[in-house]
Amino acid sequence: MVLALLFLAALAAAGAGLLLFTILTVRQVEAALPPSGRFIDVPGARLHVVERGRGTGLLLLHGLSGNLCHYTYGVFDALAADFRVVAVDRPGSGYSVRAPGASAALAEQADVMAALIDTLGLGRTIVVGHSLGGALALALAQRHPERIAGLALIAPLTHAVDRAPAAFKGLAIRAGWLRTLVAWTVAVPMAVVRGAELVQRVFAPDAVPRDFAKRGGGLLALRPDNFIGACADLSAIPEDLPGITARHAALQLPVDILYGREDSILDPLEQGDAFAATVPGARLTLIDGGHMLPITAPQCTVRFIRESASRALG
């Protein structure tokens, strides 16, 4: 009995220590990388948005466990010279928050983005989607085609995969209560210890920029809310993606795809070639590089988006 009580006391002390470490880390992260834009309330979410420029609207959607800094790192300012550019933290990512009761379903996220387009008065918009943001862009175009002028997809997730990439296996937690427990105890210490290794897997074979943690928003992955949101996103993919994939051939708008030949997260052949072959008029561009092209190949990414927008606008 005494040993059991001592064990429980030690367990509680360890849990309290992990919780305190997480809270202190969150404070440091938020002080180092506070919100850079403004907040917009739409049905289903409170969105953190950065906007600049004039002209045709470009809506930039980031991928799994990411945030809008993936775009502001190297492509946002260049695009703002020619377009009205809106980068947004997806619901549950960065500083955007899902409304109570809202899920991570791509259909719900698509409706949130459609509401953002309306709220900002963007009109018919060019949607840029990276990785999971590509799947969201497809859902948005399928559910709200009247709002979308064209799609520029960067290393998009277009088809279901057998298993999550190794870099994201730690997010494969389906139970909500367990996500919360892990997020506020072991997730942050583990990310501190293994974060550099996991980020390198996402960027491979490209090098991770030295300033990615702050300028690229990498630090925000240390916030428990971001961990919980990413877990929810990952869990929703197997349920949502097959329905999106089944409607690829029905897309009636210009679609362009950019992939890195050495992408180690998503297969350019399975996700790029197969998708381009299904969508009428879709164009696939392959370049040297990995998965994080908006950060590692910003000039190529900007050129790709501009050319895609030009084709969409006629």
Q: Quote the pLDDT of residue 1.
A: 59
- Tell me whether residue 76 is in a domain: yes
Neighbours of 162 (CB within 10 A): 4
Q: Quote the pLDDT of residue 226.
A: 96
Amino acid at 146: E
* Biggest distance spanned by C-alpha atoms of the chain: 77
Nearest to 206 by CA among 86, 136, 85, 301: 301
Distance from C-alpha of 156 to C-alpha of 258, rounded to nearest angstrom:
8
- Tell me whether residue 8 is in a domain: no
- Tell me whether residue 36 is in a domain: yes
Q: List b or e across 176-202, with b for residues whose CB sees 16 or more CB atoms inside 10 angstroms.
A: eeebbebbbbbbbeebeeebeebbebb
Preceding amide of 294 cis, omega within 30? no
- Tell me whether residue 3 is in a domain: no
Q: Quote the pLDDT of residue 14.
A: 56
User: What is residue 121's DSSP assignment?
Assistant: T
**Total structural domains within the chain:** 1
Distance from C-alpha of 280 to C-alpha of 91, rounded to nearest angstrom:
30
Distance from C-alpha of 22 to C-alpha of 186, rounded to nearest angstrom:
8
Neighbours of 239 (CB within 10 A): 12
Going from the C-alpha of 235 to that of each of 105, 227, 276, the distances in angstroms are 9, 12, 26
- Tell me whether residue 161 is in a domain: yes
Distance from C-alpha of 295 to C-alpha of 28, rounded to nearest angstrom:
24
Residue 306 domain boundaries: 17-313
Contact between 215 and 133 under an 8 Å Cβ cutoff? The reply is: no
Q: List b or e across 164-173, with b for residues whose CB sees 16 or more CB atoms inside 10 angstroms.
A: beebbebbeb
HSE-up (13 A, CA, CB side) for residue 61? 35
- Tell me whether residue 67 is in a domain: yes
**SS3 of 259, please?**
strand
Q: What is the CATH number of the domain that holds 181?
A: 3.40.50.1820
| Cα torsion angle, 273, 275, 281, 286, sign | negative
Neighbours of 276 (CB within 10 A): 20
| Torsion of the alpha carbons at 94, 69, 161 and 225, rounded to the nearest 10 | -10
- Tell me whether residue 12 is in a domain: no
pLDDT, tens digit only, all 314 positions of the chain: 544 444 444 444 555 677 787 888 889 999 999 999 999 999 999 999 999 999 999 999 999 999 999 999 999 999 999 999 999 999 999 999 999 999 999 999 999 999 999 999 999 999 999 999 999 999 999 999 999 999 999 999 999 988 888 889 899 999 999 999 999 998 998 888 888 899 999 999 999 999 999 999 999 999 999 999 999 999 999 999 999 999 999 999 999 999 999 999 999 999 999 999 999 999 999 999 999 999 999 999 999 999 999 999 98
- Tell me whether residue 6 is in a domain: no
